[in-house]
Structure formats: C-alpha cells, structure tokens
Amino acid sequence: MIKPVNGHLLIEPLPQESFIASDRETYQEIGVVIDYDADFDDDTAVWTGTTLSKPPQLINKGDKVYFDSWLAAKFPKDRDSFYWLVEWSNVRAVEYAE
C-alpha cells in the first residue's frame, strides 16, 4: 500500500448508488480515511499552490471526509479500484467514526 506524504490523506471513496458519473453536475465525494501523513505538523507545513496546508490534527483512520474529487489525485490500485490522495486543505468536512 502507498504511504501518503506532504499532508495528504489516503481515501477510499464510498460508493454512491444514486449517481451516474456522466450525469453528475458536482464533483463532491465522501470517503473513508485509510491512512494519512502522521509526520505532517505545523513545523513542516508547506506551501501548496496559493494556500498553506495545515496538518490533519483531528483526523483518524476510519473517519469519513467530504472532498472535491477535482482537487484529488487518483492512482490505480488494482484493476477495479484506485488510491485517492487528498490534500488536507481540500477536505471540506469530517464525520468522525464512533
């Protein structure tokens, strides 16, 4: 499995039965945090484009995150699935696992 770095979260998107990719007008996704860059903190925050990425201080594995898929990186995992890497600064909301 890949290891996220530079403030990224490794996300497994949840299936959305009601959406057909070609019919979607928005590109929001909901996914479960599989892993995150645990070494990324205020001392190592880096500039990413025009914003300063902040650390995932309140994120745990298993939490759900809401993010914009246009701002995420998608890499093949196997024939049928993908790794999604999302910058912490592109996470819109968190739903904590209980």
The ranges assigned to domains in the chain are: 8-17+25-95
Query: How many Cβ atoms are within 10 Å of 54's Cβ, its own excluded?
Result: 14
Give the C-alpha separation, 52 to 64, whole Å. Answer: 23
Fold of 8-17+25-95: 10 Kd Chaperonin, Protein Cpn10; Chain O (2.30.33)
Contact 16, 66 (CB under 8 A): no
Query: How many Cβ atoms are within 10 Å of 40's Cβ, its own excluded?
Result: 22
Whole-number pLDDT of residue 35: 92
Whole-number pLDDT of residue 66: 93
Whole-number pLDDT of residue 47: 47
Whole-number pLDDT of residue 45: 52
Render each residue's pLDDT in the chain as its tens digit; 98 residues: 899 988 889 999 887 665 455 555 556 789 999 998 876 654 445 545 545 555 445 788 999 999 988 888 999 988 888 889 998 888 899 998 87
Whole-number pLDDT of residue 22: 53
Amino acid at 78: D
Residue 60, token pair as written in the block:
């745990």
